[in-house]
Amino acid sequence: MSPAEIREEVLDILSDIAPDEDLSQLDDEVRFREQLELDSMDFLDIVMELRKRHRIQIPEDDYINLASMNTTVAYLEPLMKDIEREKV
């Protein structure tokens, strides 16, 4: 997946988890928790949804890499490329 596709996927997950949030104004540089009304369970739901949709295992120590959109995309990009290769 390209970075743009990963970003769209994360936005889709966020819209499911926080349907009342306006994601159109999301600043990719700012931490999700500073912009959205997300608690720790919501954050865990993001991780679980990524696992469900793409079978990505994210170790708890790596959760810090999912703090903002930019860090999330950068962290997921190599994992998503590996998944795409497995499908081919």
- H or E element in which residue 74 lies: helix 69-87
- The domain segmentation of the chain, as residue ranges, is 3-83
This prediction has a pTM of: 0.86
pLDDT of residue 11: 96
Chain center to CA of 61? 15
pLDDT of residue 28: 96
pLDDT of residue 88: 43
Cα–Cα distance for residue pair 48/86, rounded to 1 Å: 21
pLDDT of residue 82: 64
CATH 2.30.290.10 fits 3-83, yes or no: no
User: Across the 88 residues of the chain, what is the mean pLDDT of every consecutive 10-residue run?
Assistant: 94 94 94 90 92 92 94 94 57
pLDDT of residue 76: 95
Determine how many CB atoms are found less than 10 A away from the CB of residue 66.
20
> Token pair of 76, please?
């997921």
Burial class (CB in 10 A: 0-12, 13-18, 19+), 64: exposed
